[in-house]
Structure 1
Amino acid sequence: MSPEETKQLFNQRLGRYQAAIALEPTDRIPIATGSNYFAEIYSGNTQQQTLYDPQKWLEAEEIFIRDFPEIDVLRNNRIYGPLYDAIDCKTYRLPGRDLPPDTQFQFVEKEYMKPDEYDILIDDPKRFLFDCFLPRVLGEFAEKGTPRSYIAFLKAGMAQMMMGQVMRNRAVYLEQTHGMPQPMTGAFLAPFDVIADAMRGLTGIMTDLYRCPEKLKAACEVVVHEIANFALATADPFRRYPIFVPTHKAMFLSPEQFDEFYWPSFKKTIEILIEAGYTVRAYLEGDWSAHLHRLRELPKGKVVCDIDSQGDIFTAKEILGGYQCIAGGVKDSQLILGTPQQMRSHVKLLCETVGKDGGFMISGGCNFPYTTKAENLRALIDAVLEFGVYDSSISPQPRKPDPQRQAVPGLEPQQMLTPWASKLSELGGVQGDEALIRTSWEQLESMAYNWMWQWVM
């Protein structure tokens, strides 16, 4: 393709994707899964190569695009093995290092926060990170002040820069060479999940619901601003793509518990990001049927709701149709164990029901799994092209990129370990343009502070 043809293809895909999110007319149903694990290993790569060899990962995705060019988006952000090695991250087990090379990475959930540490988290999040949390989840930080710990943090900073460069280069290459957008950029967790996943663990958080409910809710409120600032720092600066949020523990909560503990701080975080000009792509993991109605409280057409394999896409359509974009409809078992004929029939049903009137993206249960059968994915795509066309004369164009930074109502400023005022006092003033020095200082402070919060993800 010529550069102009590639640009047109990119705009066509991105315009279709953005229009579906906004509940606007588009030519056909987008084929837009958030996480395409199948693409990573389709070429024969191991999962270790995906996490450790950026070139092999890119080559795998180019082969996938060649064979499945009708796909509308392809995920970017992934774990980068060298970064996790440099700091000895304890919350993940990686393929090729802790697991066989062809095994999916695993999250290691433990009690990394003690129940009596809620007050520290609420009163001083920075102290909590340094004194309580990070020494437990980062092995190289366990013995603070040693030469090895200093070098480890230096290596981790370098690895973070390498990861950022890898992800940026990949995104630009796929856009300019293959006309391929991303499904999302940037990430965050619901405040409840921040505490439940990486800090207290499932057992701890479920007991906290009864033993210290008010402290848990107060901690969630504190985390709102920390995680919202993190999300904005990692998001697409041009606001083209949604910000990603997986939801992990909502499936374990009753409707009453969800309404009291999970939803208030989660809703507030999403509203902050929407106010900042972004949309959100939420993996509603497990069965969210009892909670779906809450998503109607958010501004219309601002959240992509990925319905997991345990959920019911038809119930989601009844509750959210016309309010938020719905993604999913194809269960993991259908992609892995089904036949092309079964896939064609099922996708036809989805197009005629869930896809009616738009606001729908076809996907797996939050992903296309690693063990997807290629013939089933091909049958899915062909069925969408046959049954999922609305009006081929419609050609939605992407929104105009908006790189303007703006103050966000309701969002507390980004915290910093050493605010500029403190540094300026140490310097005893400056002789030149203070703004030039301050801008770089605060940018680096913000990057470092967000780096610490990424380990709750």
Structure 2
Amino acid sequence: MIQQKINERQQLFNDVIDNKIPERVPVMGNIMYEAAIEYAGFDLKQGQWDSEIAYKVFKKINEDFQTDAPCTSPTMRNPLFYQILGAKSYVMSETGVMQHPEITAMEPDEYDDFIKDPFKFMCDILLPRLYTELDTSPMQAAMVLAKAFKAKTDEDNIARKASREAAEPYEYAVIGGAGFGEAPFDFLSDLLRSFTGISKDIRRYPDKVKQACDAAVPLIEKTLIPPKPMKYRYASVPLHMAPYLGDKSVNEFFWPSFEKLISRCVSAGQTLHLFMEQDWMRFLDKLNELPGRMYMRFEYGDPQLTKKKINKHIITGFYPTVLLQTETKQKCIDKAKELLDILAPDGGYIFNVDKNIMSLKGSVAENYRAVLEYVSLHGNY
């Protein structure tokens, strides 16, 4: 009976991928592990260091929020891993949330070294700059790296086991977890040159930026395409720099290497989940022209225009998480109904919020439960 329910839920997502109209609108949920820790009654700072609480955390979320796929997942930013490495790129804030500060690891005059051999340059130069405990002798650095990955693997295994066991009674579909990567231009911006640095570079060293984006494609491709590519499980690609660039800069610097990366993943048979951070409405035509059939999760913009323009791919997102904190339960439900009316007709839609939920405090949890229950009951075709 349990396996039958799992199969039914899995079929909802499979049908959407296959461009068929499913029995009803599939429901996804995205609650950050940090929010789940606090919701389950644990201290956020302490909870991120204690993997033994993971089962209780996942169980509490699964009990209270009705979705077709797991609503939360193990953290990607384990603080133990980053502490062992002496990370500058990811640090814990005073509130206990892991933050990614604006940092620069590569200097403008090092573009040629990166372009020549990106992997070697990253190992020899960039990693010791980003992770201070690797800035030592090769033998000691190897020991630190081994220790960090052993700790991460142990913690991840505990969390994944807890997640699986806590999910068993709830008959979830499995749809993600195939890989994670970035658009090449975003990769350069995030960890190598920073947002500020790349904004200067596209004016001062335009050819170097283009070459570096192309050079990064094979590296990122490896993080997105598993040994056995999966049509029904997606690899995640958050996208963020394009909305902050003019159209000319997007066409010149962002899109060529991004499109190349997407094409390689699609050719390999791997489904992708693109998260369009900020407003991507001016790029809808270009997004629809991308090959394959992908999840496209939108943060801001016009759902009606998106439904009109995006017909090759899957639309998700758009539900404003801010409403869960600021509006009544009925207004939150009314927004879900509005999105169903716009996006569900003719299929190609999966319900989800516009961004991951970072806190369930106040009215958020109660309103979110009501919204998920409404969509599960009324998302019929």
Q: Same fold (TM over 0.5)?
A: yes
Asked if 1:196 corresponds to 2:194, the answer is no
1:156 to 137, 145, 148: 148
Post-superposition Cα deviations, 1:388-440, rounded to whole Å, max 9, x if no partner, equal: 112xxxxxxxxxxxxxxxxxxxxxxxxxxxxxxxxxxxxxxxxxxxxxxxxxx
Q: Hey, what does 1:130 align to over in structure 2?
A: 123
Post-superposition Cα deviations, 1:294-346, rounded to whole Å, max 9, x if no partner, equal: 1212235x2111111x33323322211x2211111211211221111101211
Q: Hey, what does 2:26 align to over in structure 1?
A: 30
Q: Separation in 1 of the partners of 2:289 and 2:148?
A: 40
1:314 to 304, 315, 319: 304
Map residues 13-162 of structure 1 onto 2, 5 A cutoff. Answer: 13-34=9-30, 36=32, 38-49=35-46, 51-76=48-73, 78-94=76-92, 98-101=93-96, 104-145=97-138, 147=140, 149-162=141-154
1:229 to 190, 200, 222: 222
- In the alignment of these two chains, the number of paired residues is 376
Q: Separation in 2 of the partners of 1:20 and 1:86?
A: 42
Map residues 32-431 of structure 1 onto 2, 5 A cutoff. Answer: 32-34=28-30, 36=32, 38-49=35-46, 51-76=48-73, 78-94=76-92, 98-101=93-96, 104-145=97-138, 147=140, 149-166=141-158, 168-170=160-162, 172-174=164-166, 176-185=168-177, 186-233=179-226, 239-300=231-292, 302-308=293-299, 310-320=300-310, 322-371=311-360, 373-390=364-381
Verify the 8 A CA contact 2:133 2:144 in the aligned structure 1. yes
Larger Rg: 1 or 2? 1
What stretches of structure 1 move > 6 A for 4+ residues in a row? none
Q: Separation in 1 of the partners of 2:100 and 2:10?
A: 32
The 3 A distance-change label for structure 1 pair 166 and 286 is same
Post-superposition Cα deviations, 1:194-213, rounded to whole Å, max 9, x if no partner, equal: 10110100111011111111
The one-letter code matched in structure 2 to 1:260 is E
The 3 A distance-change label for structure 1 pair 32 and 40 is farther
The one-letter code matched in structure 1 to 2:373 is D
Look up the SS of the partner of 1:207 in the other structure. Answer: helix
Query: Shift of the alpha carbon at 1:161?
Result: 2.6
Question: Share of identical aligned residues, percent?
Answer: 28
Look up the SS of the partner of 2:281 in the other structure. Answer: coil
Look up the SS of the partner of 1:244 in the other structure. Answer: strand
The 3 A distance-change label for structure 1 pair 385 and 157 is closer
Q: State the TM-score, normalized to the length of structure 2.
A: 0.91
Unaligned runs of 5+ in 1: 391-457
The one-letter code matched in structure 2 to 1:349 is E
Provide the alpha-carbon RMSD of the alignment.
2.3
Q: Separation in 2 of the partners of 1:374 and 1:157?
A: 35
